[in-house]
Amino acid sequence: LDIGTTRWGGIPVSSLRRASLTIYASKDNELRVYEYEASLPPRMLSTEKHLVKSGKNTLDLKAYRGVVSFELREMDGDAKIHIDLTP
């Protein structure tokens, strides 16, 4: 999946026992995490920015209670992203 710098995800983390996002980045970057309520229309709860360093970066998603989506500030075509979800 080529995510570029568009928003991606839409993961409902509140019902999961464990949820984490690991980015293997090829360069320093910034990850924006958007949290919103799963309602119609969706209601934004928060936006957070996380510094991503070159190498392995892990973010615990259980700190969030709604649905989360993500966006990188800059394209990282060599990045590998792994999302671990445990019901």
Q: How many Å separate Cα 51 from the centre of its chain?
A: 12
Mean residue pLDDT of the chain comes to 93
| pTM (predicted TM-score) | 0.90
Pairwise pLDDT comparison (6 vs 4), residue with the higher score: 6
Across residues 35-64, what is the average pLDDT?
Answer: 95
Maximum alpha-carbon separation in the chain: 38
Per-residue pLDDT, averaged over 57-78, amounts to: 95
Count CB-CB contacts under 10 A for residue 75.
14
- Are the C-beta atoms of 30 and 73 separated by less than 8 Å? yes
**Average pLDDT score over residue span 12-37:** 96
Q: And the tokens for 39?
A: 């309602």
C-beta separation of 76 from 9 below 8 A: no
> Tokens 């995490």 belong to which residue?
33
Query: What band does 5 get if pLDDT is binned at 50, 70 and 90?
Result: confident
CA dist 55 and 34 (Å) reads 23
